[in-house]
Chains A and B, each alone.
Chain A
């Protein structure tokens, strides 16, 4: 066994726990997960059946964690993992999976296949089989301050713009405030309007907040590539900044995987509870609404539909909040088919968008979204993840569809009541 294969197998071995063992013991190869997968749906290629994508994890479990498998191994009948196996799995584990979580919802025996993909990626990256673009992003982020490169000048400039636009003071590194705002690189680079939007909403609501110059970026390529060390390192930055500034809560931005990384994986990556709470921006806006601190006036008369980001709704539990908010400002809100918990992925989450090799699969997968949007024929699609926003915007343009895409926070700010 070569050194890299051994590293990969070791990483997979570390991922086996009771849930994994119960999942593989229970799979009866019924194939129902295939229909839940956007890549299978749009290609009808059986290789994209979700459970097949975690085959190497299954083999490590069988070979090393079952009595029967160990006996088979001893007499030379074990199914050893080779370099070729890793190579073959690469495009299944990274290119044709956005970790959207639909398969996890339909498995009749209850297998959390998506969680096992996350685990598979630990083995893949350890064996040197992660996509180059994700490796590049990880290098940029760990040595700098964002997966897109140095954004420190950009954030300063965007904050200045927001101050100029809104006339509201935004302070960096202000200790003792209630909230720490962190942003996704996509927002800083492409949708900076969200900064002004938050400033206006928080100003009205009396929420005190700051941005940390040491940790202003929330994305975490570590959870996409499948590297716990990278993921831990990036989470630690935010945790240290938040604890240094003694904020009560950290606001996870409109970004799907950032919410997973910070809210759910983070404490386990650093091995302890946080000294603060993590709240998603949309959860917070809904809370302000409930407290009567977020009031709007007027409504958008466009036909509006909502795209649920997988990591925030299906795998994050934030489902009703955006709908309550959207109903405050949308006169004509129409849901697409399967909206809510079973919504289909934008087609490029989980690192697929950055992975050039997966381009054709991403384009194929978007066709499902396209058909759903065509049925509703909205003027505008609202979402709560900057990367979904970016993906949808580009894919709509590629498919000659003239539909505007907007972030929910911005939209709420646009209709903020201004009677004072």
Chain B
């Protein structure tokens, strides 16, 4: 049997996946350690509020925008929510993904039905495209955005699109489409530590520091 699509799939989920996972895990660890070892100077000012508690609280509370923010930036905020939630539903609650995670880590949890997964995927892709659109059209975002930002957003959408196509056998050879799906995940994992995708880990640190700095002063965050 000599099926190049099958070989590609085996490569993508075999050696390349292992390399990608190694780059991802090692890269993320280096990036996080790189931040933490910088430390921060001891603060000699007498605290008025509770820096540690407020830091931890802010990790969660900053998830919600301030009143009026959605009205000013509807695409970024609503699109941002839908993309993140949709992505994580498709990633973490799809039964075959859970099986893979169990194989790697021994951890598992119940999944959800195909309808939910596919609905989440479609919504996440639409939201991602809307985010691309506002990046391109809005003068503030356009000025801030680098080519890597565009690339990263597109790379984040590829696993969703290829996964949807492969699972539903929409077009192309299903084995080939599945190989593309796994390849897109491999690539995403490889670029992860070198790009702003790192925010998926560092946001918690940033929010903690913000909350603790404000909290020391007894100010809101």
Please give the distance in Å from A37's CB to the nearest CB on chain B.
Answer: 10
Query: When chains A and B are docked, how far (Å) is the Cα of A111 from the Cα of B144?
Result: 16
**B202 an interface residue at 8 Å Cβ cutoff?**
yes
Q: How far is the CB of A27 from chain B (nearest CB, A)?
A: 7
Interfacial chain A residues near B194, Cβ < 8 Å: 68
Is A1 part of the binding interface, using a Cβ–Cβ cutoff of 8 Å?
Answer: no
**Bound complex: CA of A32 vs CA of B37, how far in Å?**
29
Is B73 within 8 A of A18, CB to CB?
no
Q: Does A417 contact B (CB under 8 A)?
A: no
Min CB distance B73 to A, Å, is 6
Asked whether, in the complex, the Cβ of A112 is within 8 Å of the Cβ of B199, the reply is no
CB neighbours (8 Å) of A166 from chain B are: none
Q: A19-B40, A68-B194 are in contact. Are A317 and B141 (CB under 8 A)?
A: no
> Which of B41, B140, B208, B211 lies in contact with A34, CB distance below 8 A?
B140
User: Interface residues of B, CB < 8 Å — how many?
Assistant: 61
Is A75 in the interface zone, CB < 8 Å from B?
A: no
Given contacts A67-B30, A341-B220, contact A23 B206 (CB under 8 A): yes
* CB neighbors of A among B53-70 (8 A): 58-59, 62-63, 65-66, 69
B44 contacts A26, C-beta separation under 8 Å: no
Nearest CB of B to A115, in Å: 7
Q: What 1/0 mask marks residues of chain A from 247 to 288 whose CB sits below 8 Å from any chain B CB?
A: 000000000000000011111101111100110000000000
| CB <8 Å contact, B45 and A29 | no
Which of B41, B141, B143, B198 touches A17 (beta carbons < 8 Å)? B41
Say whether B140 contacts A17, CB under 8 Å: no
A46 with B143: CB separation less than 8 A: yes
Q: In whole angstroms, how far apart are the Cα atoms of A33 and B80 in the complex? A: 15
Known: A49-B143, A267-B44, A342-B66. A110 touches B31 (CB 8 A): no
Known: A26-B202, A31-B138, A46-B139. Is A317-B49 also a contact (CB below 8 A)? yes
Query: Chain B 196-212, CB within 8 Å of chain A: the 1/0 string?
Result: 10110011011111110
B219 contacts A315, CB within 8 Å? yes
Given the known inter-chain contacts A26-B203, A110-B208, A110-B209, please indicate yes or no for A264 contacting B66, CB distance below 8 A. no
Complex contact A25–B220 (CB within 8 A): no
The residues of B that contact A315 with a CB separation of less than 8 Å are 214, 217, 219
Count chain A CB atoms within 10 A of each CB in B36, B48, B207, B209 and give the residue with the most: B209
Q: Quick one: which of B58, B143, B196, B209 contacts A28, CB cutoff 8 A? A: B196
> B63, B80, B146, B213: which contacts A19 (Cβ < 8 A)?
B213
User: How many A residues are at the interface, by size bracket?
Assistant: 35 or more
Q: Are A29 and B144 in contact (CB under 8 A)?
A: yes
Q: Is B143 a contact partner of A264 (Cβ separation < 8 A)?
A: no
Q: Is B110 part of the contact surface with A, judged by Cβ < 8 Å?
A: no
On whether the beta carbons of B144 and A22 are closer than 8 Å, the reply is no
Q: In the docked arrangement, what's the CA distance between A51 and B143, Å? A: 11
Q: Binary interface profile of B, 76-91, with partner A (CB < 8 Å = 1, else 0)? A: 1100100000000000
Known A115-B213, A272-B44, A314-B219; judge A109-B138 contact (CB<8 A).
Answer: no
A106 near B199 (CB under 8 angstroms)? no
0/1 string, B113-133, CB within 8 A of A gives 1 = 000000000000000000000
Residues on A with beta carbons closer than 8 Å to the beta carbon of B76: 30-32
Partner of A18, one of B39, B69, B217: B39
Q: Does A65 contact B (CB under 8 A)?
A: yes
Which of B62, B80, B145 is within 8 Å of A110, CB to CB?
B62
Q: Does A143 contact B (CB under 8 A)?
A: no
Beta-carbon nearest neighbor of A265 in chain B = B45
Contact B72 A65 (CB under 8 A): no
In the assembled complex, 8 residue pairs joining A and B whose CB atoms fall closer than 8 Å, in A order, are: A19-B40, A32-B76, A35-B73, A263-B45, A268-B43, A313-B219, A316-B217, A319-B219
Chain B residues proximal to chain A, CB less than 8 Å: 30-31, 34-41, 43-46, 48-49, 58-59, 62-63, 65-66, 69, 72-73, 76-77, 80, 135, 138-146, 149, 193-194, 196, 198-199, 202-203, 205-211, 213-214, 216-221
Q: Which residues of A contact B (CB under 8 A)?
A: 16-23, 25-32, 34-35, 40, 46-47, 49, 51-52, 65-68, 104-112, 115, 263-268, 270-274, 277-278, 313-319, 341-342
Seed contacts A18-B205, A273-B44; 7 additional CB < 8 Å A-B pairs: A18-B39, A31-B141, A68-B194, A111-B210, A264-B45, A268-B41, A317-B218
